[in-house]
Amino acid sequence: MANIALLIAGGSGNRMHQDIPKQFLTVNECPVIIYTLEAFERHSEIDAIAVVCIEGWELVLWAYAKQFNITKLKYVVSGGENGQASIRNGVYELEKIFDKDDIVLIHDAIRPMVSAEIISDCIRVVTRYGNAITVIPCAEAMMQTKDGVVSAGSYPRDNLKRTQTPQGFRIGKICDLHRRALKAGITNSVASCTLMIEMGEQVYFSAGSEKNIKLTTIDDIDIFKALLMAKRSAWLKD
């Protein structure tokens, strides 16, 4: 049984307002995508890594992987017109190589702080239930609104989870899901977990972390830099 990490790096990062895709921005002399690759490179249960890469950056990715000794990177696939298409391109390519019961962990390349514990728990839940969506509790009060200006109601936060990645599946199952979605005319679902729900499937939760941030804005880069520098105080309990 193989466990493959599929990093999604097909986006251009328009919300970051930078001249290069955000997954290739350098933080402390290291590209963001390398931090993410290193997390899976170091994990003993990950057998191979594939990346869905934005067009024109494939050679840059291979060069960085060589420079930073990312030996598990085996496959680079072209991105699609949106996130769903990029993931579909990636899992279809893996289907040609791996067994249908092998596990794929689909992960945002711009979540560089993913921990070994998060990866391990995702694999554990997929092994038991067939899929795993990394989530964290919703700590804030949740207000309902129709116009984005005013609210007259709230929603129980205990009934909500905030999703992250990785999101894990059996390769055969996720490929079948994408084929069914195309037949149903669903082509721009927000994430693999939402695609599962739209196709009438249940999803199971694995444990995420507040530190597992997604780098979407410049503020997120600042938070990422702070997390890289931070060390937990010795008196704090896990």
Q: Give residue 104's domain range.
A: 3-140+158-229
Q: Is residue 122 situated within a structural domain?
A: yes
Could you tell me the CA-to-CA distances from 219 to 23, 40, 59, 225 in Å, in that order?
A: 15, 25, 29, 10
Alpha carbons 6 and 69: distance in angstroms, whole number? 18
Which of 195, 126, 199, 122 is closest to 164 using CA atoms? Answer: 122
Query: Would you state the structure tokens that stand for residue 234, as one six-digit string?
Result: 């010795």
Q: Is residue 237 situated within a structural domain?
A: no
Alpha carbons 63 and 166: distance in angstroms, whole number? 25
Q: What is the pLDDT of residue 11?
A: 76
Q: Is residue 35 situated within a structural domain?
A: yes
Q: Is residue 147 situated within a structural domain?
A: no
**For residue 28, how many C-alpha atoms fall within 13 Å in the half-sphere facing its CB?**
12
Instruction: Identify the segments of the chain with pLDDT beneath 70.
Output: 12-17, 231-238
Per-residue pLDDT tens for 155-200? 999 999 999 999 999 999 999 999 999 999 999 999 999 999 999 9
Which of 65, 165, 163 is closest to 106 using CA atoms? Answer: 165
Q: Is residue 88 situated within a structural domain?
A: yes
Q: What is the pLDDT of residue 234?
A: 57
Q: What is the pLDDT of residue 20?
A: 85
Alpha carbons 69 and 67: distance in angstroms, whole number? 6
For residues 86 and 53, is the Cβ–Cβ distance under 8 A? no
CATH number at residue 29: 3.90.550.10
Per-residue pLDDT tens for 190-202? 999 999 999 999 9
Q: What is the pLDDT of residue 124?
A: 98
Q: What is the 3-state secondary structure (H, E, C) of the chain?
A: CCEEEEEEECCCCHHHCCCCCHHHCEECCEEHHHHHHHHHHHCCCCCEEEEEECCCCHHHHHHHHHHCCCCCEEEEEECCCCHHHHHHHHHHHHHHHCCCCCEEEEEECCCCCCCHHHHHHHHHHHHHHCEEEEEEECCCCEEECCCCCCCCEEECHHHCEEEEEEEEEEHHHHHHHHHHHHHCCCCCCCCHHHHHHHCCCCCCEEECCCCCCCCCCHHHHHHHHHHHHCCCCCCCCC
Q: What is the pLDDT of residue 238?
A: 60
Q: Is residue 225 situated within a structural domain?
A: yes
The whole-model pTM stands at 0.94
User: Domain count of the chain?
Assistant: 1
Q: Is residue 116 situated within a structural domain?
A: yes
Q: What is the pLDDT of residue 230?
A: 84
Q: What is the pLDDT of residue 103?
A: 98
Q: Is residue 235 situated within a structural domain?
A: no
